[in-house]
A and B are shown apart, each in its own frame.
Chain A
Amino acid sequence: MQHQWDLIVIGGGPSGLNAASTAAENGLEVMLIDEQKTPGGQIYRKLSVVTAENRFLQADDRKTGLDIINRFFKSGAHYAPETIIWFAEPGRTICSHKGKSREIKSQYMVVATGAMERPVPFAGWTLPGVMGAGASDILYKDASVTPPGPVVIAGNGPLIPLVSSHLLSLGVEIAAILDMAPFTKRLTSLGALPRAMKDMPFLLKGAGMMKKLYLSKIPIVHGVTQIAAHGNQKLASVSCITPRKTLEFEVATLLFHHGVIPRTHMSRMLRLEHAWDSQQRYWYPKTDDRGMSSNEKIYVIGDNAFVHGADVSALKGIIAGIEVSLRLNMISNAEASNQYHAVDKNMNKLLAPRAFVDNWFAPDPKLYKVDDDVIVCRCERVRAGDIRMAVEQGCHEVNEIKIRTRCGMGNCQGRMCGPAVAEIAAEALGTEVPQVGSLKIRPPVRPIPFGQICDVEYIH
């Protein structure tokens, strides 16, 4: 086993895989650490195992994914699946695999932990039967399992039309699609449409999905401002409010989605600098246009750096791989230029529709203006009212609120409540989210058995 790797790549999605492949092909000793069993991340989950059965992706998407995965397997990069990193600092990580923790050192790191669904609290969201829309895709990709119908899909984000059309084609009964997008955002995003048309295939794909849904006779309710899940220990119905009416649907599953946000626990643990995007309303690690973070030996790429989708992520991976190879003097400037050439051209085309998409699905800040009795911290059952009371009692920063209310102290380490506690606190203080700070993230970023901490295998 290596004493020190040239590069550790954290995450097995398209960006991480490409970074590892590019660097390994350029001669670096690369280790890719993946918490999953097979490469592909979320979007290409299990693609290398399940072939024709994966009906989600169109043939060319499926080919893209398989090409990325196969390239990785051939590249010479070392693959460490089912491995959880719980400690990381620049230059080294400690990870756990099959009950044993060991230290892994490297000169450079690429962080590619991807995105997660934006967690937005609402009444009843902790009931069994309520899931993120992405969860439905994951269940199908992992196990060919579909959620029990009737299903309601609610929210505002790219997965709404995507997951809806998947379930439609699988014959799942969809009781309604509840569109929670603010109408004004839809109007203003039309301005970005001309530029978006540089990537017509992408736009046509989206339009095609929408057309299928409109023709399907599934009730689509626009202008929904609030939803609530009801049931006794289990989801039984979903109610929604629009400016004109209140509706209720009997359901077995509620899939909700408000876009995706970068997963920042790893980049926070590495003490990288982050910035706040006020349109997308998420924190993201600051990087230059090649992916270098505020630490010159750590690159952050893919949806982990900024949510741009799988195709852009894949290219960012290649760029980071080229960068690290160059900086370790494994390739010359001329070779690097060559490798960049194809990537940069593609990148411009793929980035063209982002302004439109980002605006179309931009979240409404009023999303977080939830009633006092709505649970915000699922793990510790802390409610919005508790957070507002802590603010009133002088806690003006989220870590103060955390120690006052226990919000963020549970198993998920603030992943599900972090955005909401900041938005609610900022709103209560009449200020912007960056002013209230962000939850301090310290190792272990995943719960780890006490005994494993005793017993870490260190490199000497």
Chain B
Amino acid sequence: MKIENKGDKRVTIVFEGIEYRVPEGISVAAAILGHIHADYTSINAITGEQCAPHCLMGVCFDCLVEIDDLPNQQSCMISVKDGMRIKKQMTLVETN
């Protein structure tokens, strides 16, 4: 994804163990899509299919990630903060 403004203040976040410098105040979803360029952010809990942010406004719940050890956080509704640790939401739950 193209990035338009390079002059913003930046913060350091960790995604899947790797550090990235991203503009302050953007959503975690925007950081992942526009700066980290990950292909997906979570897997569907039932089928394991890869999912990525879809609506970007908190309605679809397809943008879930683990932030600072808390699972199932909506990355489109949360802003990046310095030192934030983000992981893909990989829970596949065995259903009987």
Which residues of A approach B to under 8 Å, CB–CB? 35-37, 42, 49, 53, 116-117, 119, 126, 128-132, 134-135, 138-140, 142-148, 170-172, 233-234, 263, 378-381, 410-412, 415-416, 447
A412 lies within 8 A of B50 (CB): no
Asked if A138 and B56 sit within 8 Å, CB to CB, the answer is yes
Chain A residues within 8 Å of B52, by CB: 128-129
A147-B1 contact, Cβ under 8 Å, with A128-B50, A139-B30, A234-B39? yes
Would you mind naming 12 contact pairs between A and B with Cβ atoms under 8 Å apart?
A: A37-B79, A53-B4, A128-B39, A134-B55, A135-B55, A135-B57, A139-B30, A140-B4, A144-B5, A145-B1, A379-B61, A416-B60
A140 to B55 Cα, complex, angstroms: 13
A interface, over-half SS: loop
Closest to A380 in B: B46
- Does chain A have a CB within 8 A of B64? yes
A contact residues around B57 at 8 Å (CB): 42, 116, 134-135, 138
Are B58 and A35 closer than 8 Å at their CB atoms?
yes
Cα distance A365–B47 when bound, in Å? 30
Scan residues 24-62 of chain B and give those whose CB is less than 8 A from a CB of chain A: 25-27, 30-31, 33-35, 39-40, 44, 46-47, 49-62
For A144, the chain B residues whose CB sits under 8 A away are 3-5, 23
User: Which residues of B lie under 8 Å from residue A143 when comparing CB positions?
Assistant: 23, 26-27, 30-31, 34
B14 at the interface (CB under 8 A from A): no
Residue B90 interfacial (CB < 8 Å): no
Asked if residues A132 and B55 are in contact (CB atoms below 8 Å), the reply is yes
Verify A139–B33 contact, CB threshold 8 A.
Answer: yes
Any A CB within 8 A of the CB of B84: no
Contact of B77 with A by CB under 8 A: yes
Which residues of chain B are near A447, meaning CB under 8 Å?
A: 72
Interface string of B68-94 (1 = CB under 8 A from A): 000010001101000000000000000
